[in-house]
Amino acid sequence: MFENKLVLELLERYRVLWALGHASSLMGWDSETYMPREGVEERSIASAELSLLSRRLLLENIAPLVEKLVGVEGLNDFERGVVRVLWRDVERLRRIPENIQYELAKLRSEAPVVWREAREKDDFERFKPYLSRIVELERQVAELLGYEEHPYDALLDYYEEGLRDRDVRVMFSTLVPSIRRVLEKVMAEGYYPREHVLENVEYRREAMETVNREVLNILGFPWSKGRLDVSAHPFTIGIALSDVRITTRYEGRDFRRSLFAVIHEFGHALYNLQVDERLKMTPLAEGASLGVHESQSRFWENIVGRSRAFVELLKPILDEHLGFTRDYSVEELYKYFNIVRPSLIRVDADEVTYNLHIYLRYELERMLVAGEIKVHDLPELWNEYMDRLLGIKPKSYKDGVLQDIHWSLTAIGYFPTYTIGNILAAQLKNRFEADVGRLGDVIGERRFELVRVYLREKIHKWGAVYPPKDLVVKALGEPMNPVYLAEYIENKYSRL
Ligand code: MG
């Protein structure tokens, strides 16, 4: 796998950086799960110090060696991957001066606190100066990193290597009209209730936890390499190739929220767990990109988890542990898991409307970064877009412009990766069915091993060896194509 002498030396030097990353991930996981509340102050300082140390190690110890390897011929795919991934980091760090880096890091710890307060008090004015500064800095970052066509390109590329504004425009110009058509049809038919009774039925936390664990067993979650814990917002963290942790939440009612969070995070976890063993402790021991990662979670959550065949598997488990589901047929549960309706909050959105929420954020971000609008204009524009796309308008900031944490984390250019994930998940289903057979049958027969091996061979084992665009072509035989998602939604929701 790795033979070039310089690459081998590079990997040896990288090992310290990997160890720091390992420690930081574990600290990050702990902060969200078990750390006592007052541990936060010292933890933030410790994390910041470690990230500063990583930066120095990368620039002083790793960069000179990577530089020697850039453009060297005769490297194999794995070696080239190592050089590519590290060079991206080096270039970024070199182009962004330490003062900007430092201010962004500081904002990443301060702004979410202000954002949380602002959201609770429904006070946009409170968050405005922070967001304005973040946008200002991100616009500077775009200029420092450079771009060919649109400043947003520079920011997109950080979250999704090779992604350009041009790609995102094409993606949404196919998706948005098609989704809107399905949505109008679904709403006119009135098949889905405005509110489902099950959304308000209370469950016992212990019972729900048992359900979640049994579902993970069916999917094939390896407990010797993973954990399931509780956090305010569900997440997955890959601490190492043999130590991947997921979380969910227990709100006490509307049990699908806890369940589908688990299935979603399982998809992320499986990706990390199935990266080729031989890539461990290298910069390639991670997913290809955020979009490809999200395609794995969405594949399991929506394409597998929200299918009829899967609901049939779930039904006896739910009946045994939750009990109250006995009053509902498979068809009724299927409906509850798949209700389509325009809603204000992105994270609660169904498969049909979800990408409209992303499209709105994309348009606003793009205009902010181009300097065409100011942070001051956001609330009004947000409401206008909501009205235009979904036909509803938030009555408060917290149900509108203040709902997502991303901007407070200085993450501008991140949202489109969610839609990329949804598109690739639909595309993957199509490819799987052409290569293996009907997914519904495979699910019905509980042959999840087949799905896991397929994903491992096509995507997971490669880690970050290839840039996402190349991996997609290699795995799926063609570039990302939004038509697959449009067709999937059309088939599932407009032919009831
Ligand atoms: Mg996710």
- The pLDDT tens digits of the residues spanning 347-383 come to 989 999 999 999 999 999 999 999 999 999 999 999 9
Are 132 and 267 members of one domain? no
* Same domain flag for 210 and 130: no
How many angstroms from the chain centroid is the CA of residue 472?
Answer: 17
Centre of ligand 1 from the C-alpha of residue 297, in Å: 6
How far lies 472's CA from each of 150, 288, 460, 481, in Å? 24, 10, 12, 10
- Whole-model pTM: value is 0.96
Residue 485 structure tokens: 């998602």
Place of tokens 């084992």: 461
Q: Would 157 be classed as within a structural domain?
A: no
Q: What is the pLDDT of residues 93-122, one digit of tens each?
A: 999 988 898 889 888 888 988 999 999 999
- Considering the domain architecture, whether residues 87 and 178 belong to the same structural domain is answered as no
Residue 272: both structure tokens together: 């990390």
Helix, strand or coil for residue 235? coil
Query: Does one domain contain both 371 and 345?
Result: yes
Q: Are residues 28 and 128 in the same domain?
A: yes
Whether 160 is in a domain gets the answer no
Percent share of the chain, pLDDT over 70: 100
Specify the range with the lowest mean pLDDT, choosing from 37-46, 172-181, 248-257, 364-373: 37-46
**Residue 7: predicted pLDDT:** 98
The answer on pLDDT for 495 being more than 80 is no
Looking at the structure, do residues 359 and 312 belong to the same domain, yes or no?
yes
Question: 436-492, pLDDT tens digit by residue?
Answer: 999 999 999 999 999 999 999 999 999 999 999 999 999 999 999 999 999 999 999
337 pLDDT higher than 80: yes
Compute the average pLDDT of residues 144-149: 96
Q: What span, in angstroms and rounded, lies between the C-alpha atoms of 69 and 221?
A: 39
Q: Based on the domain organization, do 98 and 16 belong to the same domain?
A: yes
Residue 478 lies in a domain: yes
Q: Tell me which of 42-46, 132-136, 273-277, 327-331 is least confident.
A: 42-46
What pLDDT does residue 113 have?
87
Ligand 1 centroid from CA 299, angstroms = 11
The pLDDT of residue 98: 83
If you count them, how many residues does the chain have?
A: 496
Q: How far apart are CA 384 and CA 401, in angstroms?
A: 11
Last residue of a domain, one of 93, 121, 151: 151
Residue 311 scores a pLDDT above 90: yes
Q: How many domains does the chain have?
A: 2
What is the mean pLDDT of the segment spanning 79-94?
96
Examine residue 351 and state whether it is found in any structural domain, yes or no.
yes
pLDDT band at 212 (very low <50, low <70, confident <90, very high): very high
> The CATH number of the domain where 465 resides is what?
1.10.1370.30
Helix or strand (DSSP H, E) at 337: helix 330-337
Considering the domain boundaries, does residue 367 fall inside one? yes
Tell whether the model's pLDDT for residue 394 goes beyond 70.
yes
Cα 290 to averaged position of ligand 1 atoms, centre (Å): 8
Question: pLDDT of 425-434, one tens digit each?
Answer: 999 999 999 9
| pLDDT band at residue 496 under the 50/70/90 scheme | low
Ligand 1 centre to CA of 461 (Å) is 19
Identify whether 159 is part of a domain.
Answer: no
132 plus 211 within the same structural domain: no
What is the reported pLDDT for 464? 98
Separation of alpha carbons 410 and 414, rounded Å: 10
**CA distance linking residue 307 with residue 300, whole number of Å:** 10
Task: Tell how strand 226-230 and strand 236-240 pair up.
Answer: unpaired
Q: How far is CA 246 from CA 141, 228, 301, in A?
A: 32, 5, 14
Q: Residue 52: its pLDDT value, please?
A: 86
Positive or negative: CA dihedral 420, 424, 455, 307: positive
Distance 236 CA to ligand 1 centre (A): 8
Phi, psi of 238 (to 5 degrees): -90, 105
Q: Which amino acid is at 58?
A: L
> How far from each other are the two terminal CA atoms of the chain, in whole angstroms?
50
Give the per-residue pLDDT at 334.
Answer: 96
Q: Which domain holds residue 437?
A: 165-493
Compute the distance from residue 424 Cα to the ligand 1 centre, in Å: 13
Both 398 and 474 in one domain: the answer is yes
Is the per-residue pLDDT at 35 higher than 80? yes
Choosing from 151, 180, 211, the residue where a domain stops is 151
- 473/324 same-domain check: yes
Task: Give counts: helices (H), strands (E), the chain.
Answer: 20, 3
Give residue 189's region: left, alpha or beta (phi > 0; psi -120 to 50).
alpha
Q: Which of 79, 161, 265, 351 is catalytic?
A: 265
Q: Report whether 244 contacts 273 (CB < 8 A).
A: yes
**Within a domain: residue 158?**
no
Residue 238 Cα to ligand 1 middle (Å) = 13
Q: Is 265 a catalytic residue?
A: yes
Per-residue model confidence (pLDDT) at position 226:
98
Q: Is residue 134 domain-shared with residue 187, that is, in the same domain?
A: no
